Amino acid sequence: MPRSSTWEKVEPADWRSTIEELRDKGFIFFDFLTGVDQENVDGSNACEVVAHLATKDLSSSHFVSTQVFGELPSITDLIPAAQWHERECTEMFGIQFIGGSANPLLRHEYLGRPPLRKSTVLAARVLTPWPGAAEPEIKEDGRKVGNASRRRQRPPGVPENWLQT
Amino acid sequence: MKHSFIALIEDKCTSCMLCVRECPAWCIHLDSHTVDVTDEGARRPKKVNVLDSFEIDYSLCMYCGVCIDVCPFDALAWDEHRALVTTNREDMLLGIEELGPSGSS
Amino acid sequence: MTRYALTSDPSVSVEVVSASLACCTLELQVALSSGALTRVPEGDVGPSVIVIAGTVTDALVPSVLELIHSYPDTKVMSFGACATSGGPYWDSPPVSKGIDQFVEVSTYVAGCPPRPDAFIQAIQELSVNGAL
């Protein structure tokens, strides 16, 4: 684990230049690049892209993040090792990396939606009866006459009226 | 403590449904009903939940312990129960009787 | 393929074929080398148990079936939550929801992953039931 790590949030326009600057400053160990869905954080359909770079001796490391709406310039010409991560990010989060590789990584057709986005609803969660929807029942003579709470509960990850839309 | 079994201490359960709703595998099923109980000297009766059934489907359970963590009344606990091996998948659905902690039986 | 006998009861021996699909396999390896089982010379009767250890995805079902069908009289053990029901991936579209949908299962072992003693217990119960 690096002894000191810094976090930096940049504009998408400064994404490439920040990475290039860091690389030239000696942060030549590329650890990873991944997406972080921001939907439940700020309600937008944005996705954060985070890259982690470290110095060769791992004594110092730098996290760079940027908020992305759909596309971001690729950094594969600066750091070739980032290609695999960008392709994964494209498949899992639906982020297009301009100038990056167009080869799919696993090529699974997933309803045309990126599987790691929170907005991608898993049908099994909708179709399986959620045990958490039950409430303590009010019974008379052993028969159910109502529920103790009128608040309707939905399982996590299933939007309201998802089947109807 | 071996993390080999999740036991239910029935007396402590208030049927609050927290474990059922937090379970990532949806493997807990709970059924309960509400009764009015009038304490001596109380002006009006209070509502009390009575546990009817509590089932953990061990064919789905991933032993993550979230249910144990969220239970506000410590009605669920890790237990050194026997490892669960069955010839029928249905037998992995354990009810209140089978879920009792190992010391109690 | 290696033949193992129960250290506590050498008359019970099993030859295990394992479909190593995910992390449960590691726990199976621990069980096989835990000391409760002893390696014995291979017999000529062939394997006694096929252990499906790990997540079976729909894409892998044909390969798993091929493995099981290549040992016709061998018992199938569903080792862990994934093989039994999909487990933590019960809501994932590419994962099949239990191998008992397409093959007859003799023993289910609960756990995510199952503890090594659960595997030993499963072998014992199979032998008590006369399945081995």
Per-residue model confidence (pLDDT) at position A139: 67
Instruction: Enumerate neighbours of C (3 or more CB pairs within 8 A).
Output: A, B
What's the maximum distance between 2 C-alpha atoms anywhere in chain A? 78
**Residue C55 C-alpha, separation from nearest chain B C-alpha, in angstroms:** 12
Closest-CA distance of chain A to residue B57, Å: 12
DSSP helix/strand/coil, B31? strand
Kindly determine whether residue A124 and residue C94, on different chains, have CB atoms separated by under 8 Å: no
pLDDT digits (tens, 9 = 90+) for A33-73: 999 998 767 767 789 999 999 999 999 999 999 999 889 99
Establish if A105 belongs to a structural domain: no
CATH assignment at residue A15: 3.30.460.80
State how far the Cα of C74 lies from the Cα of C15, in Å rounded to an integer. Answer: 10
pLDDT confidence of residue C23: 92
- Can you give the pLDDT at residue A116? 86
| Domain tally, chain A | 2
Question: Which residue bears the tokens 């982020």?
Answer: A95
Same domain, A94 and A135: no
Are A143 and A85 part of one and the same domain?
Answer: no
Which of the four pLDDT bands, split at 50, 70 and 90, describes residue A20? very high
Question: Are residues A129 and A92 part of one domain?
Answer: no
- A80-135 pLDDT per residue, tens: 999 999 999 998 898 999 999 888 887 666 556 888 888 888 888 888 889 988 88
* CB proximity B55 to C under 8 Å: no
Is there a contact between C92 and A110 if contact means CB atoms under 8 Å apart?
no
Rounded-to-integer distance, Cα A64 and Cα C9, Å: 60
Residue A117: exposed, middle, or buried by beta-carbon count in 10 A (0-12, 13-18, 19+)? middle
A69 and A126 share one domain: no
If asked whether residues A92 and A133 sit together in one domain, one would say: no
**Tens digit of each residue's pLDDT, chain C (132 residues):** 678 888 888 888 888 888 889 999 998 999 888 888 888 887 777 778 899 999 999 989 999 999 999 988 889 999 999 999 999 999 988 899 999 999 999 999 999 889 888 899 898 888 887 666
CATH number of C3-128: 3.40.50.12280
Tell me: pLDDT of B98 over 80.
Answer: yes
Q: Answer yes or no: do A17 and A50 share one domain.
A: yes
Instruction: Tell me the pLDDT tens digit for each residue of A70-81.
Output: 899 999 999 999
Same domain flag for A34 and A74? yes
**B82 contacts on C by Cβ (under 8 Å):** 121
User: B40: pLDDT confidence band, cut at 50, 70 and 90?
Assistant: confident
Q: Are residues A26 and A94 in the same domain?
A: yes
Would you say residue A93 lies in a domain? Answer: yes
To the nearest 10°, the Cα dihedral for B87, B90, B94, B95?
Answer: -140
Burial classification of residue B13, based on how many CB atoms lie within 10 Å of its CB (0-12 exposed, 13-18 middle, 19 or more buried): buried
Per the structure, the complete domain to which residue A148 belongs is given by 121-158
What's chain C's average pLDDT?
88
Distance from CA of B54 to the nearest CA of C (A): 18
B1 touching C (Cβ < 8 Å)? no
Q: Report chain C residues touching chain A, CB-CB < 8 A.
A: 90-94
Q: Which of residues 87-126 of A touch C (CB under 8 A)?
A: 108, 110-111, 122-125
Contact between A122 and C92 using a beta-carbon 8 Å cutoff: yes
Whether residue A140 sits in one domain with residue A71: no
Q: Quote the pLDDT of residue A165.
A: 45
Question: Does the distance separating the beta carbons of B88 and C108 come in below 8 Å?
Answer: yes
The pLDDT value recorded for residue A80 is 94
According to DSSP, the β-strands at C49-53 and C13-20 are parallel
Residue B105: its pLDDT value, please?
47
For residues C36 and C120, the answer to whether their CB atoms sit within 8 Å is yes
Regarding whether A90 and A19 lie in a shared domain, the answer is yes
Q: Do A131 and B26 touch (CB under 8 A)?
A: yes
Percent of chain B with pLDDT over 70: 92
Question: Is residue A115 included in any domain, yes or no?
Answer: no
Higher pLDDT, C34 or B56: B56
Contacts of A among chains (3+ CB pairs under 8 A): B, C
Asked if the structure places residue A55 within a domain, the reply is yes
Q: How far is C93 from chain A (nearest CA, A)?
A: 7
Under an 8 A CB cutoff, do B26 and A130 touch? yes
As a whole number, mean pLDDT of residues A22-34 equals 95
Residue B101's φ and ψ, nearest 5 degrees, are -60, 150
Let me know whether A15 and A94 are in one domain: yes
Confidence of residue A150 (pLDDT cuts 50, 70, 90): low
Q: Which of A131, A138, A139 is the closest to B28 by Cβ?
A: A131
Burial class (CB in 10 A: 0-12, 13-18, 19+), C52: buried
Chain A residues whose beta carbon lies within 8 Å of the beta carbon of residue C94: 108
Q: Two tokens at C109?
A: 């072992």
Q: Which domains does chain B have, with CATH numbers?
A: 6-100 (3.30.70.3270)
Same structural domain for residues A139 and A85?
no
- The C-alpha of B39 sits at a distance from chain C's nearest C-alpha, in angstroms, of 44
